[in-house]
Chains A and B, each alone.
Chain A
Amino acid sequence: MIAVTGIGTVSSAGVGPAALAATLTLGEPAARAIDRSEGFHGEGSARLAALVDPRHIQPLLPAMEARRMSAPSQYAVVAARNALAEAGLGIPAEPDSSLAIVAATALGPASYTQKMFDQVLDEGPRAASPALFSECVANAPTARAAIACRAAGVNLTLAQGEAGPLRALARSVALVTSGRARAVLAGAADEMPPLVHAILDRLRALARPGPGKSEKARPFGSGRDGFLAAEGATLLLVEDERVAVERGVTVLARIRAHGTCFDPTAPAGRWGTGTMGIAHAIVDSLARYGLAPDAIDTIVSGASGSVEGDRLEARVLSAAWGGAPLPMVLVPKAVTGEYGGAFLAAAVLLLAGIARPGAMGVAEPDPDLAVGMGRIDGACDIRRMLVTTLAAGGSASWVVLERP
């Protein structure tokens, strides 16, 4: 069985799993005002984002090392080192071809690309900075993490929108099972600069302030109007459970199953109507691993507060459960926001009992959606969770995590 033995995470909650777990348990997002001084945001736009506080990162990355790194690269390097340390592994003395990295990005290296393009537009193409450009590739964070951790194995940067982090985790299982990697750092890295925030708002994707309501992401909630934009990096250390046990390190979660599918009715950047196709794909993939929906006691849903996305997901889950009542549904993105992979860390922290689910249920569920779990009380015994994300644009990915 392939297992998660370390969590490295950088988010608005801080650096490290303990900070994230504390924020999740409290149930309030660490959201701050986005800088609107560049003038990209319009009237009535979203104003908040779950941003990484640079003061949390600076002490962990010497200035000379970080001087040319874009934000997502910095987050990825810190998260990678954090994950290795949490898993009781050091940085190899020489490049280690048995250490792989599989990380996803949804938005890519936005701020450096913008800066470089500003140079081209303002001063002409000859003013373009080579240092900025070297960080303008989607795989810059993965490459930086590989250099920092001497990970010379497979180095893969995946893109599957919001579902990317789960897909990266799924890919890491195959790498270990096939013997192509002894250990994999799997997860995601993304940044949320003001321009991207403004564009997401322009596309009506973000929760907005309004008369009589606060700007808040309400996954599966009535009156939801969008998600909370976030940034950061999360990398999970994934390895063979037997090897972990021999090393004497705590196994946080087993990766029991995974799957992915596509809904071709989804227009670019939106959600479609392929409820049954996705539901069948989930049920079929569980069956391939000898599981049925009734073996799942918790759903950690990637519902983010998106009007369309959450609606489709609710329908998919209902259909997958054949109309029967769903098990406990948790929605960490109310706290972590969307992008940066903290959602992935949240799922593992919840399974391992390090974060409490109490504040992560669906508050004020939308009556049109059959997802009726309210606030959760008491200690919940989570043994086997389905973790899902339906991405805008059609992809859907899921993973089943199990208590070891």
Chain B
Amino acid sequence: MASPTGVRTAAVVTGIGAVSAFGWGIEALHAGLRAGATSIRPITRFDASAFPTAIAAQVPEPDRARTRGIEGWARMSLADRFAVSAAREAVARAGLPGDLSSRMAGVFFASSTGGMLESEIYYAWGRHDGIDRGPRHLLVSQQVNRPGEAVARDLSATGPVESVSSACASAALAIGLALEAVRDGEVEIALAGGADSLCRVTYAGFNALQAVDSRPCRPFRADRAGLSLGEGAAVLVIERPERAAARGARPLAVLLGAGASADAHHMTAPDPSGAGAARALALALDDAGCRPDEVGLVNAHGTGTPLNDVAEYRALVRVFGDGARSIPVLATKASVGHLLGCAGAIEAVATILALGDQRLQPVPGGGDSDPATPVRLAREATAVDCRIAVSLNLGFGGCNGALVLGRAGAEAGAERVLEERQR
């Protein structure tokens, strides 16, 4: 959006952190993505034998070093733990201290389930034996705003702390709010991201919708049969370029723009025409001052369900025309699963890593593309010369979110384009 001065400025990403089924930390995620591996495996988080499917991208146990010294760890939900860990990593990588109270720091977070896993445990015990007996801490972190608050508490943030829970588009929307806050000068530092953990309710629910593949998901392939759930967290540190420069922080990427829309169509099925998603993408590009033909990489929502991938392809055609078939597409969910509320954040991080490497992340699992969704799926770790990328998310209930990210140094280009358009 236009800031009060009327000029749309870019913000820079100076730190990233992640927890994924590849492991705790960016390095594990990066290695897995570069290798074109998948982290989707049999579930051990709960007994999945009675479910129609039994695999997901489940985060492994952390090593002790990661959990030491984090106050309140034992009482945190798993989603809180993922969030706090990813946020600490992002802040450290950004060269910021672990206490942000002297800066105006805000947290813009996303979660679909919050501490639902822990609440399930509490309820399963309590519904027959009485709910007054279980430990309180299992309940306190249930709400979807708790992971973001856990981050703010851990890092002593005193600025805006807001959570978004708009299903699969949540993190893209949260990152959009962070961008707005940074542009407006409401915050000096924004921590934007998300966290979600696997839980029985969502696993059962997606299976009830017959939306889960019994194999690791295969976005845009002809034989795709559904999504794979995942869990974890991802956090971006976002600030204005001049502030980052003043404190000697090196930008990892540029956050150029964000856009959002609603299908107003159906509670679970996307608008098959892709119009709503296309609008979010077009708004994001407009916000970034970028033209569609400048986009060199697309991180698709790519869940691998028959309906999503078709709707998404049509959205890409609406925005990119023939480019929908030629712009390389990353389908991160095949690697880390669908992180629901957190998906947009981990996919933004994956995009930032790809922009940094100037290399595609090969999608795991071969197989022919679906002729109805003929995107140029990244199959090899091909070198690219890519300045601008987009990340798109289509959510349950028809919420769509899109982000425009640039290679570090791309902000100068965006301002030039904006000036040209204003003449």
Give min CB distance, A135 to chain B, whole Å: 7
Give min CB distance, A169 to chain B, whole Å: 13
Residues of B within 8 A of A213 (CB): none
Instruction: Return the chain A residue nearest B262 by Cβ.
Output: A155
With A116-B204, A158-B162, A203-B136 as known contacts, state yes or no: A139 contacts B143, CB within 8 Å: no
> Which of the residues A95, A107, A135, A156 comes within 8 Å of B264, measured between beta carbons?
A95
With A137-B112, A260-B162 as known contacts, state yes or no: A151 contacts B268, CB within 8 Å: no
Q: Which B residues between 310 and 327 are near A, CB-CB below 8 angstroms?
A: none
Residues of A within 8 A of B139 (CB): 199, 202-203
Kindly state whether residue B158 has any CB partner on chain A within 8 Å.
yes
The docked-state distance in angstroms from the alpha carbon of A372 to that of B72 is 37
Give min CB distance, B267 to chain A, whole Å: 5
Are A125 and B397 in contact, with the CB atoms below 8 A? no
> Which of the residues A124, A154, A260, A393 comes within 8 Å of B146, measured between beta carbons?
A393
Kindly state whether residue B164 has any CB partner on chain A within 8 Å.
yes
Are A268 and B153 in contact, with the CB atoms below 8 A? yes
Kindly state whether residue A159 has any CB partner on chain B within 8 Å.
yes
Residues of A within 8 A of B202 (CB): 136
The docked-state distance in angstroms from the alpha carbon of A314 to that of B120 is 36
Are A393 and B149 in contact, with the CB atoms below 8 A? yes
Give min CB distance, A338 to chain B, whole Å: 14
Are B162 and A154 in contact, with the CB atoms below 8 A? no
Kindly state whether residue B132 has any CB partner on chain A within 8 Å.
yes
Are A159 and B143 in contact, with the CB atoms below 8 A? yes
Give min CB distance, B395 to chain A, whole Å: 7
Are B267 and A135 in contact, with the CB atoms below 8 A? yes
Are A139 and B107 in contact, with the CB atoms below 8 A? no
Give min CB distance, B104 to chain A, whole Å: 9
Are B50 and A125 in contact, with the CB atoms below 8 A? yes
Give min CB distance, B271 to chain A, whole Å: 9
The docked-state distance in angstroms from the alpha carbon of A204 to that of B140 is 12
Q: Hey, what's the 0/1 contact readout for B383-405 against A, CB within 8 Å counting as 1?
A: 00000000000011111000000
Are B157 and A262 in contact, with the CB atoms below 8 A? yes
The docked-state distance in angstroms from the alpha carbon of A264 to that of B84 is 14
Are A130 and B209 in contact, with the CB atoms below 8 A? yes
A-B contact count (CB 8 A): 235
Q: Hey, what's the 0/1 contact readout for A142-158 against B, CB within 8 Å counting as 1?
A: 11101101111111111
Give min CB distance, A197 to chain B, whole Å: 11
Residues of B within 8 A of A157 (CB): 164-166, 399
Kindly state whether residue B201 has any CB partner on chain A within 8 Å.
yes
Kindly state whether residue B64 has any CB partner on chain A within 8 Å.
no
With A159-B144, A159-B145 as known contacts, state yes or no: A262 contacts B264, CB within 8 Å: no
The docked-state distance in angstroms from the alpha carbon of A269 to that of B106 is 19
With A125-B51, A140-B397, A268-B150 as known contacts, state yes or no: A105 contacts B165, CB within 8 Å: yes
> Which of the residues B146, B167, B180, B204 comes within 8 Å of A137, measured between beta carbons?
B167
Q: Hey, what's the 0/1 contact readout for B256-270 against A, CB within 8 Å counting as 1?
A: 000011111111100
With A139-B395, A139-B399, A160-B145 as known contacts, state yes or no: A117 contacts B123, CB within 8 Å: yes
Residues of B within 8 A of A124 (CB): 50
Kindly state whether residue B208 has any CB partner on chain A within 8 Å.
yes
Query: What are some 6 contacts across the A-B interface (CB < 8 A)?
Result: A106-B143, A116-B204, A135-B267, A138-B167, A139-B167, A143-B399
Contacts A147-B265, A158-B165 known; list 15 others, CB within 8 Å.
Answer: A95-B264, A105-B165, A125-B203, A125-B204, A126-B50, A128-B205, A130-B205, A143-B267, A153-B262, A154-B260, A155-B261, A157-B166, A198-B131, A202-B132, A274-B158
